[in-house]
């Protein structure tokens, strides 16, 4: 079995972060870090400087010592949120999957895109998305649900970027996408109308953790003709009810899912 060689600089960087816990200290000097890891001072300083530039360490200007940065807290919060979402949301995804025999996704925001944190496959057709894979916001149902509720300044920045065209139905014009996002807010759901793959469509709804705050989005995806039939038989309403139930259970937030 082939083995891979660990990258020493990464090992040392993680060792620096771990040293705070090992020594039980909130702050460490460059000298303390160098001595604690048996590094020369210049090597330690280079690693510390890099970690600080990434937000993983912060310097106390009053004593020149370093402390763990807020970036680590953000990452820890993200991991915790993802784990809570996966454990709590999965049974609801299974219910939707059993109801429609279609692929069901749960996705969260990841920078300017979305990442799929859970998925239940359909028995009828395989959709190539994978848990942990990322996608664009502008052409996915889950992405539109999240993008529609982002602050205007964040929306502006994302919409100012180049939006790749996946099919002839992909919306790549910022003005048209803004109209689409307004529709998402009015209707309470988003669609992917063969915007990623011809023949495949999806319907998605936002899951709120508070007023105007989307924690994640869930969707049902499949062959276009099957999804359209499912919509005629209450798919949108069932998705909205499910999202409201998730909001109540996971985030202790109750809202009217606006069933039409």
Q: Decide yes or no: CATH 3.30.450.40 for domain 77-251.
A: yes
Return the structure tokens found at 81.
């949120």
Closest CA to 34 of 43, 26, 25, 21: 43
pLDDT tens per residue, range 40-71: 999 999 999 999 999 899 998 889 999 988 78
Please state the domain extents for the chain.
Answer: 8-68, 77-251
Residues present in the chain in total: 260
Does residue 221 carry a pLDDT above 80? yes
Q: Is the pLDDT of residue 33 over 70?
A: yes
CATH 1.10.10.10 is the classification of domain 8-68: yes
pLDDT (tens digit per residue) in 125-184:
888 888 878 899 999 999 999 999 999 999 999 999 999 999 999 999 999 999 999 999
Concatenate the DSSP letters of all residues of the chain into one string: ----PPPHHHHHHHHHHHHHHHHT-S-B-HHHHHHHTT--HHHHHHHHHHHHHTTSEEEETTTTEEEE-HHHHHHHHHHHHHHHHHHHHHHHHHHHHHHH-SEEEEEEEETTEEEEEEEE--SS------TT-EEESTTSHHHHHHHTTS-HHHHHHHHTS-----STT----HHHHHHHHHHHHHHS-EEEESSSSTTEEEEEEEEEEETTEEEEEEEEEEEHHHHHHHHHTTHHHHHHHHHHHHHHHHH---------
Pairing between strand 57-60 and 65-68?
A: antiparallel
Q: What is the pLDDT of residue 132?
A: 79
């Amino acid at each position: 079995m082939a083995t891979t060689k660990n990258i020493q600089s990464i090992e040392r960087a993680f060792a620096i972060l771990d040293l705070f816990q090992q020594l039980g200290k909130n702050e460490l000097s460059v000298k303390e870090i160098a001595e604690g890891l048996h590094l020369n001072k210049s090597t330690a300083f280079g690693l510390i400087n890099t970690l600080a530039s990434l937000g993983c360490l912060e310097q106390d200007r009053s004593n020149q010592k370093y402390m763990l940065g807020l970036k680590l807290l953000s990452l820890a919060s993200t991991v915790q949120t993802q784990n809570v979402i996966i454990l709590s949301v999965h049974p609801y995804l299974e219910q939707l999957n059993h109801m429609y025999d279609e692929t069901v996704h749960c996705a969260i925001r990841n920078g300017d895109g979305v990442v799929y944190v859970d998925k239940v496959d359909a028995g009828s057709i395989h959709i190539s998305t994978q848990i942990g894979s990322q996608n664009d916001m502008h052409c996915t149902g889950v992405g539109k649900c999240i993008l529609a509720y982002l602050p205007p300044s964040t929306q502006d920045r994302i919409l100012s970027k180049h939006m790749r065209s996946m099919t002839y139905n992909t919306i790549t014009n910022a003005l048209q996408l803004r109209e689409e996002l307004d529709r998402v807010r009015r209707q309470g759901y988003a669609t992917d109308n063969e915007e990623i793959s011809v023949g495949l469509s999806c319907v998605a709804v936002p899951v709120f953790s508070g007023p105007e705050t989307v924690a994640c989005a869930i969707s049902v995806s499949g062959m276009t003709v099957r999804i359209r039939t499912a919509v005629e038989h209450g798919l949108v309403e069932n998705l909205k009810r499910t999202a409201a139930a998730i909001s109540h259970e996971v985030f202790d937030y109750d809202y009217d899912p606006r069933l039409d």
